[in-house]
Amino acid sequence: MKTFSTGGVHPPENKLTANCSIQYLPLPQSVAIPVSQHIGTPANIVVNKGDSVKTGQVIAESKGFVSAFIHSSVSGKVNKIDTVIDTSGYRQTAVFIDVEGDEWVDTIDRSEEILTDIKLSSEDIIRKCLQSGIVGMGGATFPSHVKLTVPAGKKCDVLIINGVECEPYLTSDHRLMLERGEEVLIGTTILMKALNVSMALMGIENNKPDAIEHLTRLATGFKGITVYPLKVKYPQGAEKQLIKALINREVPSGRLPLDVNTVVHNVGTAFAVYEAVQKNKPLFERVVTITGKSVAKPGNYVVRTGTPVSKLIDAAGGLPEDTGKIVSGGPMMGKAITNTGVPVVKGTSGIILFPKSESERKSPEPCIRCAKCVSACALNLEPYLLMTLSEKGLFEMAGKERITDCMECGSCSYTCPAGRPLLDYIRLGKATVIKMARERVIKN
Amino acid sequence: MSSTIIITVVSLSLLAFMSAVILYFIAQKFKVFEDPRIDEVQAVLPAANCGGCGFAGCRNFAEALVKAENFDGLLCPVGGAVVMGQAAKLLGKEAPVIEPKVAVLICNGSPEFRPHTSKYDGVPDCRIANTLYIGETDCSYGCLGNNDCERACTFDALHMDPLTGLPVITDDKCTSCGNCVKACPRHIIELRKKARKDRKIYVACSNCDKGGPARRACKVACIACSKCVNVCEFNAITIENNLAYIDASKCTFCRKCVTECPTGSILEINFPPRKPKVEAEAENATINP
């Protein structure tokens, strides 16, 4: 069975919600929709306080190439434009909307019918992705139209669809593949058309045999799509690792997948692209897993963006008493959130409620030079060294040791028997090195 | 027996003499001229090697002083006017006018005023906490309280107060080397002009949010209401980015802004206690009948 060659760990899977079918979360009374739900320039707000908006209406326009449109996820009145602490942990501008009914924009096709015919041309598909605010749904939220625009001089010969979901606990992609398999495959075909490629490979980890079987059966009806089961190993869902696993090409340091003639999109993105292109529905809701060992009713919910996390927790049977940390995203790469008023955004794949016993950090012990972190690193870096360099403030040297290659998957911290905060320091070093490089560019 | 001793002594003496001659000529040949004034200047520098001057150590700074045409941009903040004056005298140059400075924390957000809304259990390092999120309180500008400045201070002048969780600066020990200013990732330590009796009046807040959110996050936040600007007769106060700033060079320590500030974000330090209002009025009445 295929997998990537270097490093990797296998944390306990804990996919508690693998059998919970997708449900619709009731609409909240109000939503707070941040204007920066993507990597790149924050969108430009085009509504004012007191305006009435419909579900699916544009409330913020993309500003610059790497940016995305933001749409209202509910119908109602704009209450205020203020700041909110979002999943990134920082204060951000957001549009607060009081919900009144649920009136959708007329152009959205709300029928259940599955449309297989793709009428739009390649350019139209890319434009549609931009206007619908599609971003990478795997968590990185990189605007999809940028990835679909192949720059002159580069070519793409294979599309990779990421159905790996290597993070423990999360099952939103898994359920999407099972319940909306056909739409995901049509979305894949649309992406293939946009990129003008004839082959798409879909990688799914072997811990989801039902999804593999279901999609393999469905894929026989689609030209050029092949489903590959992959050996369970974290971080297989990372772009570079998935490319290595599926087509055995290695993306060089500091380069993009397009440099090895491929593009990777998540299954969630494929589904969002299907809805945008075929149903004219912009991206304003997504599947979110709410889970945790002491959660009464864990599940997978379709949640409108801007819905406070507290609503999701209520749907799951309330906040367990022993909760120590609430993590947005997966347990490996996710971030603890500061309060339950934090809104769900386009990149929120899951909310995990960790009991106190599982959320406490080990007190760090001295490094024993066991090199487990080196074996765990999927990018051939030396985490122990990068941590020390960063801790001592030797950022120039850390840059030479390629600290900027780190994708912050957390395998090193996970595997360290001494409980050392490897990733914390590497992240600091990486941010500093990037800042220094930028300052150097400005100076010259 | 005795001849062995004589031969040994003579041969060793010859060897020593020859080595001395060779070493003398080598020393003459490879002599590196060093300005003797460097040593003299280094002798008057504080030898703290703190890096406050921007050089690696006192020796490098001494070299720079000797080489420099004039003292523009060269300052030993630790030694201040005294040391710079001595160095200028040694080198026959003009001593620059130096106003002594002291580090001041531009935040007063103790837990009493700025309640904690979350608990940080990561690495106790402000730089890391600052790259992760806004901090344990709702204020994204204030002190994170993870001791980076205390670790950076080489003069034992800065210590964390366990009660307030904020650093406390001992004015007498502070040399204004600026290490804490550089160490703080939130840039909330400022070097301010030192005044008589270490008196200070400053806005102890760095929150650039608008009034509402700033006040919600911290009771003693500056809400940029402009009251202090209006009351100041010396144009010493300006408001920029929703934050008032008192220019220490214009401030005359009249203390009017302190009483005017509705949130109490302007602090007066080392002033004698104010007289109660009634008493003060009575005093005025006796002076001006």
Give the pLDDT of residue B285: 54
B127 touches chain A (CB under 8 A): yes
Cβ contact (<8 Å) for A83 and B209? yes
Measured distance CA(A361)–CA(A164) in Å, rounded: 28
Residue A148's nearest CA partner among A98, A106, A188, A92 is A188
Whole-structure pTM value: 0.85
Which residues of chain B lie closer than 8 angstroms to A421, CB-CB?
122-123, 128
- Can you give the pLDDT at residue A244? 93
Residues of A in contact with B118 (CB under 8 A): 338-339
pLDDT digits (tens, 9 = 90+) for A284-302: 999 999 999 999 999 999 9
B133 contacts in A (CB within 8 Å)?
A: 88-90, 335, 338
State yes or no: pLDDT of A381 exceeds 60. yes
A427 contact residues in B (CB cutoff 8 A): 128, 131
pLDDT at residue A228 in the model: 94
Q: Which of A28, A25, A129 is nearest to A75 (CA)?
A: A28
The interface predicted TM-score of the complex, written ipTM, equals 0.85
Q: Is B13 left (phi over 0), alpha (psi -120 to 50) or beta?
A: alpha
CB contact (8 A) between residue B128 and residue A338: no
Is 80 exceeded by the pLDDT of residue A42?
Answer: yes
Which of A83, A338, A424 is opposite residue B213, by nearest beta carbon? A83
The sign of the dihedral angle between the CA atoms of A306, A312, A315, A320 is negative
B289 confidence band (pLDDT: 50, 70, 90): very low
Residues forming a β-bridge with B27: none
Measured from the Cβ of residue A369, the count of other Cβ atoms closer than 10 Å reads 9
User: Phi, psi (5° rounding) for residue A76?
Assistant: 155, -155
Query: By percentage, how much of chain A surpasses pLDDT 70?
Result: 100
**Per-residue pLDDT, B281:** 57
Contact (CB, 8 A) for B56 and B25? no
Domains of chain A: 25-108+282-356 (3.10.20.600), 122-279 (3.40.50.11540), 372-443 (no CATH)
Inter-chain contact B133–A428, Cβ cutoff 8 Å?
no
pLDDT tens sequence across A108-156: 998 888 888 888 999 999 999 999 999 999 888 999 999 999 988 889 9
Nearest CA-CA distance, residue B179 and chain A, Å: 14
- Would you place residue B211 in the very low, low, confident or very high pLDDT band (cuts 50, 70, 90)? confident
| Average pLDDT of the segment spanning B209-237 | 90
pLDDT at B275 over 80: no
Residue among A91, A335, A428 whose CB faces B140 most closely: A91
The dihedral formed by the CA atoms of B268, B271, B273 and B275, expressed in degrees to the nearest 10: -90
pLDDT at B280 over 60: no
Q: Which chain A residues are closer than 8 Å to B117 by Cβ?
A: 338-339
Q: Do B122 and A88 touch (CB under 8 A)?
A: no
Q: How do the domains of chain B map onto residue ranges?
A: 36-91, 102-269
Q: What is residue B78's predicted lDDT score, i.e. its pLDDT? A: 84
Residue A203, SS3 per DSSP = strand
pLDDT at A143 (0 to 100): 93
List CB contacts of B224: < 8 A, sequence separation 6 or more: B210, B211, B239, B242, B243, B244
Neighbours of B138 (CB within 10 A): 23
Give CA–CA dist A31/A37, Å, rounded: 14
Average pLDDT value for chain B = 88
**Which 3 state secondary structure label does DSSP give A301?**
strand
Smallest Cα distance from B129 to chain A, Å:
9
Question: For residue B123, which of A58, A361, A164 has the smallest C-alpha distance?
Answer: A361
Determine the pLDDT at residue B81.
82
CA distance A91 to A252: 35
Closest CA to A126 of A155, A142, A147: A147
- Per-residue pLDDT band for B249 (boundaries 50, 70, 90) equals confident
Average pLDDT for B158-176: 91
If you average pLDDT over residues B275-289, what whole number do you get? Answer: 57
CATH architecture of B102-269: 2-Layer Sandwich (3.30)
Q: Is the pLDDT of residue A350 over 90?
A: yes
Q: Which tens digit of pLDDT belongs to each residue from A57-76?
A: 999 999 888 999 999 999 99
